[in-house]
Amino acid sequence: MAACAQVPEIAAQPEEQIAGIPVSQIVEGYGLLEDEGFRLPPIPPRYLQGVNRRMLIAYPGTQRAGTIEIDPNAKFLYWVLPDGMAWRYPIGVGIEGLGLRGETVIQRKAKWPGWTPTANMLRRDPELYEPFRRGVPGGLASPLGARALYLYRGGRDTYYRIHGTNDLESIGNSGSAGCIRLFNHDIIHLYEMVPNSTRVIIRSYNESVRIEGAAMANRGIELAPYIITPEELFNGESGHRADELASVSGRG
């Protein structure tokens, strides 16, 4: 009888993937992103665990609206909003002794900026930086990522930047040459809100402990510099996902 006939099993269809990540696992706000002619792949969820992702939160600090406050200890950047809220972004920061201090002002902004090592970098780590003395043009291979905010003090360039990065492991840790790194998705999000002349304040360790708590104020680890050749860098631009590209700037 037909009612007793066995219904054939239908094989489950494999889940769609983007850049090797199942669509169901892609974190909201960190998916495939087309920007200015460049394609950014989704950020793998392993880099976005816990607090290591962009969040809109009640602002716990004391700075006025329209200020960027950076906590290099808890590895957060806050964009302070006028309603007691703030966007909080996870960041990568400079190794101890190389980090930004005090107060600066954003005086220039750039989309998909190129990068050239400073004279200081060339003196300090010639093995790392000399192959890139002539610079890296803007694009997927640039260590400054999708956007850069240039920090000035007293009208002079500090050579510190708030910028994107392809070195996803560095976010939530320290190991850059001193600049403030964000996921490319996050620096694009921040860039559109922040005008030139924005004040950038650096939180002290004591302030971080008071506001974030001792455990959070000691978040992350120090990463060793990653040495990469120009051939690896530019082959990576065309042949690898962005999350596999280590920054030429030695986590700079």
Q: Which residues are catalytic?
A: 163, 179
Rounded to an integer, what distance in angstroms lies between the CA atom of residue 2 and that of residue 18?
A: 43
Rounded to an integer, what distance in angstroms lies between the CA atom of residue 139 and that of residue 120?
A: 24
Rounded to an integer, what distance in angstroms lies between the CA atom of residue 206 and that of residue 22?
A: 42
**Closest by CA position to 40, among listed 129, 141, 134:** 141
Rounded to an integer, what distance in angstroms lies between the CA atom of residue 177 and that of residue 175?
A: 7
> How many C-beta atoms surround the C-beta of residue 202 within 10 A?
18
Give the largest CA-CA distance in the chain. Answer: 89
Instruction: Classify residue 189 as exposed, middle or buried by CB count within 10 Å of its CB (0-12, 13-18, 19+).
Output: middle
**Closest by CA position to 118, among listed 127, 104, 105, 129:** 129
